[in-house]
Amino acid sequence: MGKPLIAGNWKMHGTAESALTLAAQLNQYRFQENAAEMIIFPPLVHISAVSAVLADSSIALGAQNVSQYSNGAYTGEVSGEMLLDQGCKYVLVGHSERRAVMGESSQVVAEKFRAAQNAGLIPILCVGETLEQRHAGKTLEVVAKQIDAVIDLVGLNKVIQAVIAYEPVWAIGTGETASPQQAQQVHSAIRTQLGEAGQATTLLYGGSVNASNAAELFEQLDIDGGLVGGASLEADKFLKIAQLVEA
């Protein structure tokens, strides 16, 4: 079992005002001593302001994306060092929307993973299959290859120090959720792929997680917490889910 963790990916939502309000609402919550670690991932333009709100908070800050380059003439990109400088501790790499919409290959994802770790950030490596791949019985193969691409570049010892989030593409923002049994099957396979050294690696489930399905998902042996999308945009909903992650 890995460290209990709950992460909220705000994606491309909100204004400066709404981001600050949501961060302040979450910051008022008093976590129990054994509570899971909470991370929020605001849009890039709001990271600095949200970081100031969370200055004395137990809530960690993360970025939704990072460049594979540390510096240089890469207009529009943001390096890991810049994110660290703004107070980020974590960064998402390989989110299904980055892979599918932005065309990021597993090689690029692996390079971003390496850049994040080199900068001192903790990557959350997102992996998952499409509906067609699941129907073809290729779920475990697809997920294993996505993880292997990172292992091949940085080595297993680096991968087990990160966080891995399984998020079936067909469940992202659709309201559909993998059954607890389906999710556990994939998480168990990931745990096996990481080997004995990866038994303490934190594994998250992402894909239309909400207060009504979170408890059963988090009860599964190899699911240590959740990567929450839409439900993280409302403080009450997100906190209800966070309380279901056992520490």
The enclosing H or E element of 204 equals: strand 202-206
List for the chain the helix, strand, coil content (%; round to 5): 45, 15, 40
The CA distance from 156 to 159, in Å, is 5
> Is 95 noted as a catalytic residue in this protein?
yes
C-alpha of 2 from chain center: 14
> Is 135 noted as a catalytic residue in this protein?
no
| 33 DSSP assignment | T
Render 116-145 in DSSP notation, one character per residue.
HHHHT-EEEEEE---HHHHHTT-HHHHHHH
The CA distance from 240 to 92, in Å, is 23
Q: Catalytic one among 46, 95, 104, 187?
A: 95
Q: Catalytic one among 97, 111, 167, 187?
A: 167
Residues annotated as catalytic are 95, 167
